[in-house]
Structure 1
Amino acid sequence: MMQWSPTQLFALAICLMALALACIGLAMAWRIVKQERNQRVVEHAMYAREGGGASDAAERRGWAAIVAAAAGLGARWIAGRFGALLLEEEDRKLIEVGGFGRTSLARGLFVFARVILAVFLPLVFLLWLPVRVSGNTLLNHAVVLFLGFGGGWMLPKMYIRRRARHRRQQAKDELPLLIDLLRLLQSVGLSMDQSLHVIVNEFRDVMPVLSGELDVAVQAHARGRTREQSLLRLMRDYENEDISAICRLIVQVDQHGGAMQEPLHNFSERLREQRKMDMKEKTGKLTVKMTGVMVLTLLPALLIVTGGAGFLAVIRGLAGMGGG
């Protein structure tokens, strides 16, 4: 009876895994080829009718078809048995905060990237990353596979977490301008709906994050949701007490009416004071950091300038004593 060593069993498992991945890749490639062929027929027909200019559009649509196929495969994995493991609730929230144009497409691409990286990165590490933990080859391979799997699993989440953190900070920076605009629009007699529509349509370039979120809230309110339900995502996902407070104020005015100028003025003054305190704190931290830089760079030069002559005199005196 043939005896299998641990190394041979490990190599066999790697080969079977690569074979399974190759089958999945061939199935995806066949589907993409079919879509590309159908798309090419349509593009040729459009090119023949319009006379040109369709090659760039065909290339863009080809990439769009590949992205859509990858996102569709990721969406099927989400709907499968391990969907809750592949896309946790925290990941869903981060994707929503990330500001992607199509959230469903972003979810599918996130899961697709997570699975592909978690499977292929260990193989890449196994081939090109020599790790020596002990003399046991099987243990070394296991450590490399674990590192590759962990890195591939966490890389997509690290990206969307960084993107969400950037958008939260950007929303925090845009909040004072939003408050001033609401004060101005309310003071000229516009209703809350009119004020939000003006902010969404006219100030998207200067407030890309908050205007986009308010656009989603306005559309949800137009489809029949209450003002509180439409602003729930902005209050919950951005984890900012000031944003939550201004959203609650909007809900209160929408439900019960009343003037917003005075509350918004007080709120704006409080935000300005908070920003001044934050700026002073950043300035203090920067001063401490610059003190360390000055000590490391200027202190040696200062010692040379102020004590150089004395050091030279001492050295010459010691040299004279030694020579005498």
Structure 2
Amino acid sequence: MSPTLFAGLVAGTILLATIGVCLVAILVVRSRGESHLRRRLAPEASGVGDDLDDRGQRPLVASMVRGGKAIEGMVDPEGESGRLLMQAGWRGVEQRVLWYAFQGVLPILLAALLVGFWMFAEVESKLLVTVLLGFAAAAMSFLLPRWVLRGAAASRQRRIKSEVPLLIHLLTLLFEAGLSIRQALASLVREGGGVLPEIGRELDLMLRQIEAGAETGDALKNLGEILAVDDLSTIFGVLRQVDRYGGEIREPLLEALEVIEERRSLELREKVNLLSGRMTVVMVLFFFPALMVFVAGPAFLALIRALGDVNG
């Protein structure tokens, strides 16, 4: 490596590190200023992580949380993380504190690993490799928390989706027993927590909102929009219509169940078709050569022996 290129790489690394430190400092200062302003304007509505010192959290944890919220404000200006946290079921203060702390400490951990690589690794072109790993670590510090959160939200959405058919059958039985919508939902929360663990948690929170004065239809609509599970949104839509206009509810629920089952049947057929195509590729790559050896091997060996006898 020429001295000019080496000096350029060193200067670029120092410049990028300086810019990164300045950006993190600006974000932390701005986040702290916004949190102080929110506490002054609406102390009772301060967000998670803004009043950690008041909750008895350690200053180190509070600083990591503020750093995580600052990073989130930079990579997520539209507030997608709040919706994903609710979809993942991480609604509690402790869970959100752990999430923000993880998001704040990850860049520091990756930077420490990068420094360890620079100090102890014995590779050629160490500076170039370190710069490339630095860019990769910077990208991962922003992208990895988003991947983890989206994966957790998608996994919980699949679990909720798997509980929807059982929810429909239980609601049908409860409505046939003469219960109203609110009574049926309360009975599901009270008695069906073991069979509907994910939906039961969400219904419990929704019933608390209804008891606090929210309208049943609005609460169902908001919950459906937050969870973003199509099958569950369909059921909540049926419940909202019945709650608003009245009428028979058993037939709409059963019709919705038929639509959901048809949709799942089509999804399963699509998965089976994809799986059969993949298995065809696997068979061609692995099974077909072994089959050719098994079928054509004896004939090929016999031909080799015959040719050997002729030559002999």
Bin for the TM-score computed over the shorter chain: 0.7 to 0.9
**What residue is the counterpart of 1:93 in the other structure?**
83
Distance 1:79 1:149 in 2: 17
- Relative contact order higher in (CA < 8 Å, ≥ 6 apart): 2
For the aligned residues, what is the CA RMSD? 3.6
Q: Deviations over 1:241-297 (max 9, x none)?
A: 322221122122222222101101111112122222222222222222333333344
**What residue is the counterpart of 1:317 in the other structure?**
306
Residue 282 (str. 1) matches residue 271 (str. 2) = yes
TM-score by length of structure 2 reads: 0.73
Q: Which moved more, 1:150-159 or 1:297-306?
A: 297-306
Select the residue among 202, 215, 236 that pairs with 1:226. 215
**What residue is the counterpart of 1:30 in the other structure?**
none
Change (3 A) 1:146 1:10: closer
Change (3 A) 1:280 1:70: farther
**What residue is the counterpart of 1:109 in the other structure?**
98
Distance 1:143 1:86 in 2: 21
**What residue is the counterpart of 2:256 in the other structure?**
267
Cα shift at 1:110: 2.1
Select the residue among 183, 197, 217 that pairs with 1:208. 197
Q: Which moved more, 1:145-154 or 1:262-271?
A: 145-154
Residue 175 (str. 1) matches residue 171 (str. 2) = no
Distance 1:190 1:241 in 2: 25
Q: Which moved more, 1:296-305 or 1:181-190?
A: 296-305
Consecutive unaligned residues in structure 2, runs of 5 or more: 1-6, 26-54
Consecutive unaligned residues in structure 1, runs of 5 or more: 22-64
Which secondary structure state, in structure 2, belongs to the residue aligned with residue 231 of structure 1? helix
1:107-186 paired onto structure 2 within 5 Å: 107-128=96-117, 137=127, 140-186=129-175
Counterpart of 2:148, as a letter, is Y
**What residue is the counterpart of 2:49 in the other structure?**
none
Count residues with an aligned counterpart: 271
Distance 1:183 1:71 in 2: 48
Distance 1:279 1:9 in 2: 52
TM-score by length of structure 1 reads: 0.71
- Cα pair 1:186 1:195 within 8 Å, conserved: yes
Distance 1:287 1:69 in 2: 56
Cα shift at 1:121: 0.3
**What residue is the counterpart of 2:183 in the other structure?**
194
Counterpart of 1:94, as a letter, is L
1:16-27 paired onto structure 2 within 5 Å: none
Distance 1:303 1:167 in 2: 46
Amino-acid identity (%): 28
